[in-house]
A = this chain, B = another copy of it.
Amino acid sequence: MMLKVINPNTTASMTAKIGACARAVAGPGVTVHATSPSRGPAAIESHADAALAVPGVLEEIATGETAGYDGYVIACFGDPGLQAARELARGPVVGIAEAAMRTASYLGRGFSVVTTLSRTVGQARDLTHQYGVAASCLGIHACEIPVLGLETPQARTSILQACKEALANDGSDAIVLGCAGMADLCHELSTELGVSVIDGVTAATVTVETLIRLSLTTGKLGEFAFPDRDRVEALLAETPLK
């Protein structure tokens, strides 16, 4: 089984971290390839960043289809391009926000999201409605750390603090990390907090693996049928987005 984990931003160190986390949880016989578009935003922190990352994500799906991947993960908490990716791929495509939040739904009454910048909170709230977890999402908390600033020790302290406050205020049963760049903090935070901490990269990787194991994939008879192939391929082939 071959999985492609797509980091929609172009920061190589983050792609490497995502790949390591995904490989750490993949089952035996599962090959995980982490990748990111050659061009696009270095970080995704606004609606414009997300929108301009999507063509790159779709190119990665398109090249993945040629290469024969069995499934895909979109490794940015806004799940950019998820519906279009499902049109283009034969196998299942899972976003890390949907996987993290649905996985958290198995662990009790509700969860809190801890994320990067407060300007992304509205988008995360939208996703809770889209994925049917609005009632389970008991709070979304920004720690005001930019995506590319997550590696510093102060960042870890801020995130830990935000998680503690979230648990205390929301009465939640688990924490969902709201950025792929936090994937490596998962176990450490869980140990310190005494509750489950869900990272979307690992949650989505095992989710897509199990969908494939169960022979399940996107319905291709209606809304997610392959779109006008000439039109899409031409756009993707001739104009790789910066």
What is the interface of chain A, defined by CB distance below 8 A to chain B? 25, 27-28, 39-43, 45-52, 54-55, 58, 81, 83-84, 86-88, 92, 94, 98, 102-103, 105-109, 118-123, 126, 129-136, 167, 171-174, 187, 190, 194-196, 198, 202-203, 206-207, 209-211, 213-219, 221-225, 227-228, 231-232, 234-236, 238-242
Contact = CB atoms under 8 A, between A and B. Distances in A.
| 3 residue pairs, one from A and one from B, having the closest CB atoms | A173-B219, A132-B132, A239-B242
Contacts of A120: 223
B107 A217 contact: yes
Most B CB within 10 A of own CB, among A39, A92, A221: A221
Contacts of A241: 55, 235, 239, 241
B102 A235 contact: no
Contact of A92 (B39, B106, B213, B216): B106
Contact of A132 (B94, B126, B136): B136
Nearest to A187: B215
A72 B214 CA distance: 19
Given A28-B28, A222-B109, A235 B52 contact: yes
A222 B120 CA distance: 9
28 contacts: A45-B228, A46-B227, A46-B228, A47-B87, A47-B227, A49-B228, A49-B232, A50-B84, A51-B58, A55-B241, A92-B106, A105-B132, A106-B216, A108-B219, A109-B219, A109-B224, A119-B223, A131-B132, A132-B133, A132-B134, A132-B136, A173-B222, A174-B219, A195-B221, A196-B215, A198-B216, A235-B242, A241-B241
A206 B52 CA distance: 29
Contact of A222 (B28, B132, B171, B225): B171
